[in-house]
């Protein structure tokens, strides 16, 4: 009877964790380039009270055993890197990746961060930086006298300068891709870091093999489906209630036992 209390407790903890993940998805439904996360579960160890296949006599063995499970635990949160819907913006420096790949930005400690958020701005030096001020590793600087900026689908950045009818190339944007993007470590601020699970990055120009194309003047929306999250929330609530009901039932049975 005590086992049922602990088993139901693990079930409630697992569903609470799932609700936390769903809440974070809903909170980031409008976050540029956000990728939906999913809680993954696995069952805990079993009490093996009767070994399957054990001999009951010289010529007979058990076709089934007696194993009692001890509950569930949250083992991981997995991100789904499906394409978000591109949304048009009014900023010529905004970019969306249509396909695979990540923008590469330079972190304050000198490491490289990876992001799907293409909402870039020009800082005081004209460098293309994220909303947090981290510059692109390509080191692209827009001249102060530039009249317009054009970013092609394959990452070539050109500007139009006064008195010059021919656009001037000022750099190339390079993307990075991973064998296992779900293994990237989320850092917050729409950034990810390379990990052992993600593998080493493969760099390449946009629109090259395995890389998506750039869309100037667009931002990639979150891939969170609000209806799907609400359905998952209801399912999680019902599962939490069933586990709490199992605890109440176990408690009532213990009370009845104490009255005998």
Judgement on whether residues 99 and 216 belong to the same structural domain of the protein:
yes
Residue 182 in domain: yes
Model confidence pLDDT, tens digit, residues 179-211: 999 999 999 999 999 999 999 999 999 998 889
Q: Which domain holds residue 206?
A: 86-139+173-220
- Identify whether the C-beta of residue 126 lies closer than 8 Å to the C-beta of residue 144: yes
Judgement on whether residues 46 and 97 belong to the same structural domain of the protein:
no
Judgement on whether residues 53 and 19 belong to the same structural domain of the protein:
yes
Judgement on whether residues 216 and 228 belong to the same structural domain of the protein:
no
Judgement on whether residues 22 and 59 belong to the same structural domain of the protein:
yes
Residue 168 in domain: no
What percent of the chain lies above the pLDDT cut of 70?
A: 100
Judgement on whether residues 187 and 124 belong to the same structural domain of the protein:
yes
Residue 152 in domain: no
Summary mean pLDDT of the chain: 92
CA distance to 71, 134, 241, 253, per residue, from 43 (Å): 6, 42, 19, 25
Model confidence pLDDT, tens digit, residues 25-42: 999 999 999 999 999 999
Question: Quick one: 187 exposed, middle or buried, by C-beta within 10 A (0-12, 13-18, 19+)?
Answer: middle
């Amino acid at each position: 009877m005590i086992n049922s209390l602990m088993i139901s407790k693990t079930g409630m903890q697992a569903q609470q964790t799932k609700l936390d993940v769903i809440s974070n998805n809903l909170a980031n439904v409008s976050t540029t380039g956000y990728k939906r996360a999913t809680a993954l579960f696995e069952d805990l160890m079993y009490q093996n009270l009767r070994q399957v296949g054990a001999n009951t006599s010289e010529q007979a063995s058990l076709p089934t055993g007696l194993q009692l499970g001890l509950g569930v635990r949250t083992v991981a949160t997995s991100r789904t890197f499906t394409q978000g819907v591109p949304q048009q913006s009014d900023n010529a420096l905004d970019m969306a990746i249509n396909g695979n790949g990540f923008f590469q930005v330079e972190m304050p400690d000198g490491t490289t961060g990876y992001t799907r958020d293409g909402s870039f701005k020009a800082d005081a030096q004209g460098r293309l930086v994220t909303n947090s001020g981290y510059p692109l590793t390509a080191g692209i600087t827009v001249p102060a006298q530039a009249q317009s900026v054009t970013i092609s689908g394959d990452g070539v950045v050109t500007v139009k300068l006064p008195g010059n009818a021919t656009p001037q190339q000022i750099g190339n944007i390079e993307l990075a891709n991973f064998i296992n993007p779900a293994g990237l470590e989320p850092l917050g601020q729409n950034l990810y870091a390379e990990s052992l699970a993600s593998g080493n990055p493969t760099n390449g120009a946009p629109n090259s093999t395995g890389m998506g194309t750039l869309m100037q003047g667009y931002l990639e929306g979150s891939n969170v489906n609000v209806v799907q999250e609400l359905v998952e929330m209801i399912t999680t609530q019902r599962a939490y209630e069933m586990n709490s009901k199992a605890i109440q039932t176990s408690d009532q049975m213990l009370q009845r036992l104490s009255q005998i």
